[in-house]
């Protein structure tokens, strides 16, 4: 059994828990090849955990994680190492090497994973930086870059090895409106032009909905809903509506579970 060719990545019946808390409980999510799929949900709902399961940094207690026809939990260590070359990851923090300039940051995966001569590495680094609009920043150090520029350099590094699947972990967090707009445009452009399968994990509703071909809303260890952005915006499901419309209280309560307030204040102390 293997995942349908239409899907680059598919989680089937995945259960993952930390201690007694189930992060995912028998969850199935598929990511269509060559499309942008958004995964949304409130903070702490397991979005980053989902990416780590897809990149085989975590192993599920139960279920299958298929990537391009391979079920990750069954792969050997060396097969996993090869499989990971199919992934590019834009980390939430950007994760640039602070002691390397922009050029060396983007060149890093090429130097580690290939035996290309320096002149070709230089060509590819210049090409990737041109694609994100930062070829002129080649000699700058990370601490000389704005937050938005750091994210774009990290994106150039994430696509240095021409990955088939690109994972974006909260790409819009901490970005100003212009930088968000640039990232939205780049994610869509890279996806469409290079045929990449993009997975955008985010709680930034407007940006993620604007670039996603398909959306999942996750929470409470489940897939709460899925569909096109329009379908989810108009959902009758109160949990999805609360999230999509940013309503502070509802099925997802404003208050974290707590003992009775009166008892806490007046009872027995």
Partner 1 sequence: MSNDSVTLEDGVLRIQGVLDYRSGPLLRKQGQELIRSSKADNLEVNCAAVEKSSSVGLALLLAFMRDAEQGGKTVKLTHLPLDMQKIAEVCGLTEILNIAP
Residue 8 binds to partner 1 (criterion: CB under 8 A): no
Burial of 126 (0-12, 13-18, 19+ CB in 10 A): middle
Task: For the segment 134-163, give every residue that binds partner 1 (CB under 8 A).
Answer: 161-162
Rounded Cα distance between 105 and 91, Å, is: 14
Nearer to partner 1, 162 or 263 (CB): 162
- The window from 31-39, 42-50, 107-115, 165-173 that contacts partner 1 (CB under 8 A) reads 107-115
| Residue of 39, 50, 190, 244 interacting with partner 1 (CB under 8 A) | 190
E-strand spans in the chain?
A: 7-18, 21-32, 36-40, 62-67, 70-71, 87-90, 165-169, 197-202, 214-219, 222-227
Read off φ and ψ for residue 227, nearest 5 degrees. Answer: 155, -170
Nearer to partner 1, 115 or 236 (CB): 115
3-class DSSP state for residue 174?
coil
Rounded Cα distance between 267 and 269, Å, is: 6
Task: Quote the least distance from Cβ 52 to partner 1, whole Å.
Answer: 25
Q: Are 181 and 16 in contact (CB under 8 A)?
A: no
Residue 75 binds to partner 1 (criterion: CB under 8 A): no
The tokens describing 91, both together, are: 């980390």
Read off φ and ψ for residue 52, nearest 5 degrees. Answer: -70, -30
Task: Quote the least distance from Cβ 82 to partner 1, whole Å.
Answer: 11
| Residue of 178, 189, 206, 247 interacting with partner 1 (CB under 8 A) | 189
- The window from 19-27, 188-196, 218-226, 231-239 that contacts partner 1 (CB under 8 A) reads 188-196
Residue 131 binds to partner 1 (criterion: CB under 8 A): yes
Residue 266 binds to partner 1 (criterion: CB under 8 A): no
**Residue numbers at the binding site for partner 1 (CB under 8 A):** 110, 113-117, 119-120, 123-124, 127-128, 130-131, 161-162, 189-190, 193-195
């Amino acid at each position: 059994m293997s995942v349908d060719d239409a899907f680059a990545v598919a989680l089937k019946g995945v259960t993952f828990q930390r201690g007694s808390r189930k992060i995912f409980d028998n969850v199935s999510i598929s990511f269509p090849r060559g499309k942008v799929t958004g995964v949304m949900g409130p903070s702490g709902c397991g979005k980053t955990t989902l990416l780590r399961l897809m990149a085989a940094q975590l192993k599920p207690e139960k279920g299958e994680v298929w990537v391009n026809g391979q079920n990750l939990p069954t792969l050997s260590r060396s097969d996993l190492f090869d499989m990971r070359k199919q992934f590019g990851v834009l980390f939430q923090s950007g994760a640039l090497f602070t002691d390397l300039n922009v050029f060396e940051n983007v060149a890093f995966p090429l130097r580690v994973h290939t035996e290309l001569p320096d002149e070709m590495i230089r060509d590819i680094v210049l090409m990737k930086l041109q694609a994100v609009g930062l070829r002129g920043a080649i000699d700058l150090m990370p601490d000389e870059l704005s937050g938005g520029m750091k994210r774009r350099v990290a994106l150039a590094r994430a696509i240095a090895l021409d990955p088939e699947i690109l994972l974006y972990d909260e790409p819009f967090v901490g970005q100003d409106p212009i930088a968000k707009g640039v990232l939205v445009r780049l994610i869509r452009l890279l996806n469409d032009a290079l045929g990449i399968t993009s997975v955008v994990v985010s709680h930034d509703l407007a940006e993620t909905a604007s670039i996603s071909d398909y959306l999942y809303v996750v929470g409470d260890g489940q897939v709460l809903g899925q569909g096109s952005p329009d379908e989810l915006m108009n959902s009758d499901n109160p949990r999805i509506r609360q999230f999509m419309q940013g309503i502070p209280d509802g099925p997802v309560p404003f208050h974290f579970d707590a003992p009775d307030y009166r008892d806490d204040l007046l009872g027995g102390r």
